[in-house]
Structure formats: structure tokens, C-alpha cells
Amino acid sequence: MNTISFNRNWICNGKTVTLPHDAQIAEKRGADVSNGGHGYFPGGVYTYEKTFTAPQEWEGKDILVEFEGVYKNATVSLNGKELCFHPYGYTGFFVELKDLVYGGSNTLTVVADNSKLPNSRWYSGSGIYRPVWLHVCEKNGLRPECVKISTVSIDPAVVKIESPVSVKADVGGIRGEGTSFELTIPNAKLWSDDTPFLYTAKITAGEGDSVEIPFGIRQITWSNKGLFINGKETLLRGGCVHHDSGILGAATYAESEERRVRILKENGFNAIRSAHNPASKAMLDACDKYGMYVMDETFDMWYNRKNPYDYGCDFEKCWEQDVTAMVERDFNHPSVILYSIGNEVGEPAEAKGLDYGKKMIALCHKLDASRPVTCGANLMIMGRTAKGNALYKDGEQPGGDKPQKEKDGQNASLMFNMIASFVGSGMNKSGNSKKIDAITTPFLDSLDIAGYNYASGRYPLEEKAHPNRVVFGSETFPQDIWKNWQMVKKHPYLVGDFMWTSWDYLGEAGIGAWSYTGGMPFNRPYPWILAGAGVIDILGIPDGSCKYASTVWGLEGNPVIAVKPVNHPGVRPSKSVWRGTNAILSWSWAGCKGNKAEVEVYSDQAQVELLINGKSVGQKKVKECKALFKVKYEPGTVTAVAYDASGRETGRSELISADAPLKIAVRPEKCHAKPGEVVYVPVNIEGANGVVESNADRKLTVTVEGGELLAFGSANPCTEEQYHTGSFTTYYGHALAVVRAGEAGTVSIKASDGSMTGTAEIAVK
């Protein structure tokens, strides 16, 4: 089997593009074109064409094209003849190219129809947003994803290899053959979040038909005693992650996914939940590489729509093929330890929905008996559904082809967001009643591990109420991490926590934002574009919430200082329940001397002391790993010192202000790149000492020579600027360019505000 990248030289609506490609990110946003769920982006119909020559030597072979993701309603044709229709935008699919013209020209056409909105509760992107591959396969030979490798035991380490055709396998000199056989790996290195060791199986069939498959030797077991990876109890330090790539829109580049996983791992996470759709292949590859556990999720909805044109229109006829696609693709990825069959679906509260849930669980078990099946269950939503008071009524269509008009133009999450905003963390107790327990138990007990969305009040109850149930927080508020983590450590059956969200995302505009311009936190008007809910922003920069979590997890050796913005004197921000603080890791606020400053210090010690320019402003006891100080801002240095219960200093840290004069700093994350490689390039407003200045934002224009500027933007959650134009205003001093390297030579990046310029180069070879 020969696999060829099929990403270059496509024509999308008359323009030459290289895949992956998000056609929606360059559309003109507006208050009248869609709602905040979509980020105020319009939809459209996008036609992709690729003309290619099929070599004569392909004749007699099977030619497959693999689409990793097309959003949505993809119609695939070859030379004018329709071959395939695939509705779901988040699962990959294969199309056999029959009736090729061998030795001549062929045209492959893909029409992605994302014109009917609303069809998502977040920004989806449009078009062929994930990579495409062409597979040249021998007749009756190997096929993509046909060889399955599983761990039989870890002591001794034994793996099982299964294939629909007879194969020979070689794993580091250990060999076997057949359609189902076992290999014993001596002195094996096991895969885990701490030791992500990968093996490669070289698989051959027939005469020269071969493929190499990376895999990990890893065993999962679970019970009310805990979750165990390779026999070791494992607590999931998790975060929910949407599929978009920030300023790149939905386009999924391998370098982007690897960067995101690396940053999450560096900030203490060891698990992600793919919310609320299957992750990309590149994401799973990166999780395999860095040791990140994955809860891979199928759908945000079942047959009851949350939006008029969402996957609920297709669920009943497509769920089986889409669940199968996810499980078959995930099988050889050691990072995937959980399959989730949905998010906050109310259907399991009724007989029809419960039956569908059990069918999906059974299908997952049939395809892969080694992994547990879960669901992000919101007990309140299931309880309301059972009473005939479902939250997501906006998804219903009264008839015909016209959608029901959404109330006041809002997205379908409006009612839930309103309840969450008014009730706050009290929502965590909404599933505590015996009535809701009775309603939810048939479904939750059918799962291998039950995921609870905003229902931490049930955690301590389950030991007596459901002594055999294994649970985790599948969606929680970041500010609750201390309380939640104490329960995770206390109760063996509670195996982890996934906060909403670990990484910010496009759409659901403003649900997690703190705003100094007023307005309701769950209903941000245009031009809001970002959710603002991530503890790491869309550029990859962690905030105070992120460092608070890593402190609670015991991963910070020194105290951490975070400061709420001091450049809005006298203005009280409107707050979101999904974000407990808007503090960032900065003590550089030009022109703000004398302004009130709220400083948060995170530590797992007994007391912390705060000093400004060497002068102590007091000591405070640490409560729930946090101490708060209200001071007046003075440029210079702020220092936090931690003390244990005996008064002994255990660590200190500091933040400093930017020194004049300011400059534009262009700082590529890599100095060398391969041709075509995607490189991230932070562009900051910095002082002479290299410190980012948080209160001197300005509009910058970026140009690139020797490469292609894919996107440039900042983490400003409310802006009319667009990421594809090359011009954008920094936010708290930060912006980011994403560049694709050209051929061998040098990529030159220049950023300017008209009065000063910053430059950098990347060597390409």
C-alpha cells in the first residue's frame, strides 16, 4: 500500500488552495449573517476540484481517497460521476476511485455544503479542513486501518495483531505471521503519560505490500477502586478541547495539533476530552508522542437537534457508520483510553434514547473490547427532558425546510448558558435529587465509566448510592478545581476532572469572557468572536486559571503570581461562570501607576508574602491554594515568597515590568524548518529587557518573504479584525503569526506599526 499526500493544487471556488483549508474563516462576519454560536460567520457552499493524472501502473489496483474531515454534507465525484455523500463533518471517510482514466487526466470534485445555519453550537469552519490522502492498494491486500494491534498482557508484554488478510509482522526483530497472532516483546517499554514509548510494527502482505504502524504497549483496567494504566492508579488532569486551530480557523495542521498538545502537557494536563466530536488524526498522533490521554467523543447531539440543521438531522441513519469510523481509526492509538458516545444529550431519559445509547455502547465494545465507553452526561438536562422541559428546544423544526427562528438571534446554548450564569457553581448540585438519580441511573449504569457534566455534588454520594459506579468530571468549572481535586484524591471511584475549557476556541462568543464594556456574560453581541473560556488562550498563552490548576495538582515548585488587568480603573467587569478569574501573568502596565491592582498568588504552602520593589505589602494565609492581595500598581518588580507551616521559606517567584523603549519583537518558535513546514511566530510588544508590555497595544501588519502567511491575529475576544488579512491589533501585548515555509532558503518575517518594525528569519532546508 502506497500512501500519497493529496493536499496540493486544489481549486476552491476559483482559487488555488493547499489543504487543509477552512473556507469559512475568510468570510465577512456580521451581526445579521449568523449567531454568536458560529462566531457571527456566514456559511456557504464550497466546491473543491483537483485535476490529476492516474499513472498506467495504477491499473489493476484499488485506489482510495481518504478524507480526514469535510465540513459538512460532502458530495464526492470523479469525472462528473457522484461516488459518495458523507453528512457528518467530523469523521473521516474513504472513497474508492472507480473508472479512473489511466495514463490520462482525472478531476476529483468535492462539494461541501455548510449553507444552512445554524448547524453547530460553536465555530465549525467550512470545506476540506483536514488533510486528504490517496492510497494505492494491491488487490485483496492491505487497506488503511485494517491491521489492529492490541495489548494482551504487560508482564510479560504480549501484543496481538489482527488483519483481514494474512500478514507478516516485524516489531524490533520479533516476528510473526497470519491473520491473528501474538508476539511477546522482551524487556518491553510500556506506554503511559509519564513514559510515552512507541513501537513500530512493520506489516507486509503478499509481494511488497507494506505499511508501518506505530503503537504503544498499554493496558487499561478500571473498577470502583480506580482507573489503572499498566496497573498504576491514574488520575486524569483533564481539559476539554474544541477542534478549531484558533487564528487558523478550523484548518488542521499536524504542527498546530502537536504544538497544542505540547503546551497542554507543559502546563500540567495529562488528558484531553475532544469536545464534542472525534479528534483529528494529527491530534491523536501528538497525544501518542507526548503522553496525553484522550477521551474521544462522537457527537454533541443525537436525534433531538440542538440547532435546526445540525447532525440531529442525520443521526438515526448515520450514527453507526460514524461511531465505527472513530473506533476503527482510534484502535492503534495508545493515547485513546475512553470512547464517549455523546455530550449533554437528553435522549437517554426516554426509552428510545436509552436504547440508542445501549446500541452505541455495544457497537464500541464489539469493535474494541479493550477501552471503556463513557458519555458527558448532564444530569440536569436529562432530568428536564424526562419532565418534558428540554433545554434545547431551538433545534426543532416546525415543518418544511425552514428553520425555527432562534429567539432574539441567539445560539442554541442560550437557555443552558443563562441557567449556568445565574445559578453559577450551584448547578453542581442540580443532579443530587433522588428523582434525577432514578431518571439517570439506567443510562449511567450502562456505561463503563460515567462522565458527569457540572454535577460534582454527586461525587461524594455515589459511594453509597452506586457503590460499583466509576465516575469522573467530564465537564467542570476551572475555578472549582481545588474542591474537585480534593474529592478526586479522596474517592477511588472518582478518577479525574476535565475543565471547560483548557484551550480557548472560536464561537459560543463570550460565554467565558470578562468584559469591561458591560453586557450579559452569556449573550455577547457582534463583534464578539471567541468563547473566552479557555485557561490557555487561542495563541497558546496560559492565564492565572491555568497556573492555579497546576498548583492544585502539585506541579508548581514555586508560588505563581497572576494579576487582574489594572488598566480599567473604576470599572467593574461583567464576569462569566466559566472563568473564575481574568488574571494574567503580567506586572507590566504602562501608564497605570497608582491604579488599584488585584494580585492572586497560587501556592500549596501555608503562607505567602507579597513584595513590590522589595517592600513587603503583607503576608496572608493560603486558602485552597490561593491568596489575594489588593495593592496599588507600581512599575518594577512584584515578588511572591512562600512559607511552610513552620515559617520556613520554600520558594519565591517574581514578575517584572517592561523597560523603555518599547519594540516589536518577532520570535519564531523554530529557527530552522523543512520546506512546507508550518511554524508559529509570536509577535509581541516588548521592552528593552524582553518583557511583554500589557498596556501598549497597537495594530501591526505582518509580511512574509520566502514563505506563506497563513494567519495573523491576537487573543482579543471582541474584534472586527480578521485573521487572514495580515493586519491585527495586539492584545495585552501579544499577537501570533503562523507561517508556512517555502522551498530551501530563508523565510523572512516583518511586523510593523508604521513607526517601528521587528524582523526575524527562519532557515529552510
Partner residues linked to 574 by β-bridges: 515
Bridging pattern class, strands 707-713 and 678-686: unpaired
User: Count of residues for the chain?
Assistant: 765
pLDDT in tens, 307-357: 999 999 999 999 999 999 999 999 999 999 999 999 999 999 999 999 999
Distance CA 571, CA 517 (A): 9
CA distances from 506 to 236, 239, 332, 510, 547 (A): 25, 16, 30, 10, 22
pLDDT in tens, 77-92: 999 999 999 999 999 9
User: What's 229-398+409-548's CATH class?
Assistant: alpha beta
pLDDT in tens, 204-227: 998 889 999 999 999 999 999 999
pLDDT at residue 426, as a whole number: 78
Distance CA 685, CA 667 (A): 11
Mean pLDDT of 446-456: 97
Q: Which of 637, 556, 567, 554 is nearest to 598 (CA)?
A: 567
pLDDT at residue 519, as a whole number: 72
Question: Which positions ≥6 away from 311 have C-beta within 8 Å?
Answer: 87, 88, 119, 299, 300, 301, 318
pLDDT in tens, 416-434: 666 666 666 778 888 899 9
Mean pLDDT of 423-450: 91
Burial zone of 688 (CB within 10 Å; 0-12 exposed, 13-18 middle, 19+ buried): exposed
Domains 2-137 and 229-398+409-548 share a fold: no
Q: What are the sequence ranges of the domains in the chain? A: 2-137, 148-205, 229-398+409-548, 556-656, 663-764
pLDDT in tens, 681-695: 999 999 999 999 999
Q: How confident is the model at residue 389 (pLDDT cuts 50, 70, 90)?
A: confident
- The sign one gets for the Cα dihedral 379, 385, 386, 387 is positive
Please give the CATH number for the structural domain made up of 663-764: 2.60.40.10
Distance CA 368, CA 371 (A): 7
Q: What is the DSSP string of 386-427?
A: HTT--S-GGG---STTSPPPPGGG--TTHHHHHHHHHHGGGG
Q: Which three cell numbers stand for residue 478?
A: 476551572
Q: Which three cell numbers stand for residue 269?
A: 494536563
Q: Which CATH number fits domain 556-656: 3.30.2350.10, 2.60.40.770, 2.60.40.10, 3.40.50.1970?
A: 2.60.40.10
Q: Which three cell numbers stand for residue 709?
A: 502567511
Q: Are 712 and 702 in contact (CB under 8 A)?
A: yes
Q: Which three cell numbers stand for residue 541?
A: 498563552
Q: Is the pLDDT of residue 396 over 60?
A: no
Q: Is the pLDDT of residue 405 over 70?
A: no
Q: Is the pLDDT of residue 134 over 90?
A: yes
Distance CA 306, CA 315 (A): 12
Chain-centroid distance of CA 704 in Å reads 28
- The position carrying cell 461541501 is 112
Number of H-type helices and E-type strands within the chain: 10, 42
pLDDT at residue 480, as a whole number: 96
CATH topology of domain 2-137: Jelly Rolls (2.60.120)
Q: How confident is the model at residue 703 (pLDDT cuts 50, 70, 90)?
A: very high
Q: How confident is the model at residue 406 (pLDDT cuts 50, 70, 90)?
A: very low
**How many other CB atoms are found less than 10 A from the CB of residue 235?**
18
pLDDT at residue 418, as a whole number: 65
pLDDT at residue 208, as a whole number: 80
Phi, then psi, of 57 in degrees rounded to 5: -70, -10
Q: Are 78 and 40 in contact (CB under 8 A)?
A: no
Bridging pattern class, strands 15-17 and 157-171: unpaired
Mean pLDDT of 121-136: 98
Mean pLDDT of 718-735: 98
Bridging pattern class, strands 699-705 and 745-752: antiparallel
Distance CA 74, CA 517 (A): 41
Chain-centroid distance of CA 587 in Å reads 29
* 3-state SS, residue 442: helix
Distance CA 68, CA 76 (A): 13
pLDDT at residue 402, as a whole number: 43
- The sign one gets for the Cα dihedral 65, 71, 74, 80 is negative
How are strands ordered across the β-sheet holding 105-114?
15-17, 10-12, 44-53, 105-114, 74-78, 81-86
* Ramachandran bin of 471, using left for φ above 0, alpha for ψ from -120 to 50, beta for the remaining angles: beta
Q: Are 637 and 654 in contact (CB under 8 A)?
A: yes
Distance CA 152, CA 156 (A): 9
Mean pLDDT of 607-635: 98
DSSP letter at 347? G
CA distances from 631 to 594, 595, 618 (A): 9, 8, 10
Q: Is the pLDDT of residue 414 over 70?
A: no
Distance CA 121, CA 68 (A): 21
Q: Is the pLDDT of residue 660 over 70?
A: yes
Q: Is the pLDDT of residue 137 over 50?
A: yes
pLDDT at residue 407, as a whole number: 42
Mean pLDDT of 468-475: 98
Which element (helix H / strand E) includes 42?
none
Share of the chain above pLDDT 90, in %: 91
- The sign one gets for the Cα dihedral 30, 531, 665, 744 is negative
Q: How confident is the model at residue 400 (pLDDT cuts 50, 70, 90)?
A: very low
Q: Where are the beta strands (DSSP E) in 187-265?
A: 199-205, 209-215, 220-223, 226-229, 232-233, 236-241
* 3-state SS, residue 232: strand
DSSP letter at 23? S
At residue 457, what is the residue type? G
Q: Where are the beta strands (DSSP E) in 216-359?
A: 220-223, 226-229, 232-233, 236-241, 271-274, 293-297, 336-343
Distance CA 5, CA 281 (A): 14
pLDDT in tens, 154-186: 999 999 999 999 999 999 999 999 999 999 999
pLDDT at residue 415, as a whole number: 64
Q: Which three cell numbers stand for residue 205?
A: 502482505
Share of the chain above pLDDT 70, in %: 95
Q: Is the pLDDT of residue 121 over 60?
A: yes
Dihedral over alpha carbons 267, 273, 275, 278 (to 10 degrees)? 120
Q: Are 655 and 585 in contact (CB under 8 A)?
A: yes
Q: Are 744 and 650 in contact (CB under 8 A)?
A: no
Bridging pattern class, strands 336-343 and 148-154: unpaired
Which element (helix H / strand E) includes 57?
none
CA atoms within 13 A on the CB side of 428: 22
**Mean pLDDT, rounded, of the chain:** 95
Q: How confident is the model at residue 72 (pLDDT cuts 50, 70, 90)?
A: very high
Q: Is the pLDDT of residue 654 over 90?
A: yes
DSSP letter at 246? G
Distance CA 373, CA 357 (A): 11
Q: Are 110 and 70 in contact (CB under 8 A)?
A: yes
Q: Which of 684, 652, 670, 697 is nearest to 751 (CA)?
A: 684
pLDDT in tens, 231-245: 999 999 999 999 999
Q: Is the pLDDT of residue 725 over 70?
A: yes
Angle between helices 351-367 and 315-330 (to 10 degrees): 30
Q: Are 272 and 287 in contact (CB under 8 A)?
A: yes
Mean pLDDT of 234-263: 98
CA distances from 747 to 17, 474, 704 (A): 20, 43, 7
Q: How confident is the model at residue 522 (pLDDT cuts 50, 70, 90)?
A: low
